Amino acid sequence: MPKILIADAVSDAALALLKKAGLDAEKKTGMTEDQVAAEIGNYDGLIVRSATKVTPKIVAAGKKLKIVGRAGAGVDNIDVAACVKAGIIVENTPGGNTTSAGEHALALMFSLSRHVAFCDREMRAGGWPKKGTTGVELTGKTLGLLGLGRVAGVVAKVGRALDMTVLVYDPYLPDARAAELGVKKTTLDALLAAADFISVHSPLTPETKNLIGAAQFAKMKKTARLVNAARGGIVDETALLDALKTGKIAGAALDVFENEPLAAESPFRSLPNVVLTPHLGASTEEAQERVAVEIAEQFVDYFKSGTVRNAVTTK
């Protein structure tokens, strides 16, 4: 009987589904890299969320390991290249958190446009911060999307419902998909110059690493507001800090960072024109249930019939 290790706080629905299908599944969370490496040799499959890092050390120790599953879309915490080299399949659940991640990006955009986080802090401290906190409307503005996958599609639909002009920079976007969503494909430079709100939705790859840096901030409107709920590292944080401090852009809302958790001494924490959340894009009850069920179903399909779904490969 194949043995499956669930190493992160994945919904118990995954464990129940695996056991119901006759697989020997266990849930052990909070382990260090050394502890996972010491355990993994006994298992045929490994399911993680985001806390456990599937490192080359863990891959090498997984002598029986056939498949690694991510209950979520991003696989930054999995060394996919090491898995592929070892003949281990890597699967994710790209659609399970689409709605949640899209809604969170929108929540950040609204919060940023109306100074919600800043005013909340000031109110709790006894203040009445009415002066200097006049907001801006989203309706009628220009929204720039960097990438147009599933999550950005949610944002685009809401943007269009608000009568926003939606511009997209995505070299891989089919014209038919752009037409379906009522968005306009354009160049990165044109998007940066025109957008009032810019929302990042690209995966983190060598091509998108520091996609937005000092040169790109220089091309934005001083009234522009940037939202990144995709992946840390796509936006150059040093350049972003400079842009926020010097007024090159009006504000930013960040759910992801180059290094997580965000350091206690991070200068982002003291800036009034920044909204910060701790990588909450997929953190809804509905999304966590969906991704848990989906990855468990994919494991059942694999171990029962050899079916591979949502496999991730190296580029």
Candidates 49, 201, 231, 290; catalytic one? 231
285 among known catalytic residues: no
279 among known catalytic residues: yes
Mean pLDDT confidence for 268-292? 96
Compute CA distances 263 → 167, 244, 267, 268, whole Å.
34, 18, 9, 10
The amino acid at residue 315 is K
Its CATH architecture, for the domain 98-276, is 3-Layer(aba) Sandwich (3.40)
SS3 47: strand
Domain ranges of the chain: 3-96+285-305, 98-276
Q: What is the pLDDT at residue 34?
A: 98
Name the pLDDT band for 15 (thresholds 50, 70, 90).
very high
pTM of the prediction? 0.89
Q: Is the pLDDT of residue 175 over 80?
A: yes
Q: What is the pLDDT at residue 163?
A: 98
Residues 6+ apart with CB under 8 A from 306: none
pLDDT tens digits, residue range 56-75?
A: 999 999 999 999 999 998 89
Q: Is the pLDDT of residue 193 over 70?
A: yes
Candidates 70, 104, 201, 279; catalytic one? 279
Candidates 180, 207, 260, 286; catalytic one? 260
Q: What is the pLDDT at residue 315?
A: 58
Strand-by-strand arrangement of the 45-48 sheet: 24-27, 3-6, 45-48, 67-70, 89-91
Q: What is the pLDDT at residue 76?
A: 87
231 among known catalytic residues: yes
Round the average pLDDT of the chain to a whole number and report it: 97
SS3 45: strand
Question: In whole angstroms, what is the distance from residue 116 CA to residue 275 CA?
Answer: 9
Q: Is the pLDDT of residue 78 over 90?
A: yes
Q: Is the pLDDT of residue 314 over 80?
A: no
Q: Is the pLDDT of residue 159 over 90?
A: yes
Per CATH, the homologous superfamily of domain 3-96+285-305 is NAD(P)-binding Rossmann-like Domain (3.40.50.720)
pLDDT tens digits, residue range 195-224?
A: 999 999 998 889 999 999 999 999 999 999
pLDDT tens digits, residue range 140-157?
A: 999 999 999 999 999 999
3-state DSSP percent of the chain in helix, strand and coil, to 5: 40, 15, 45
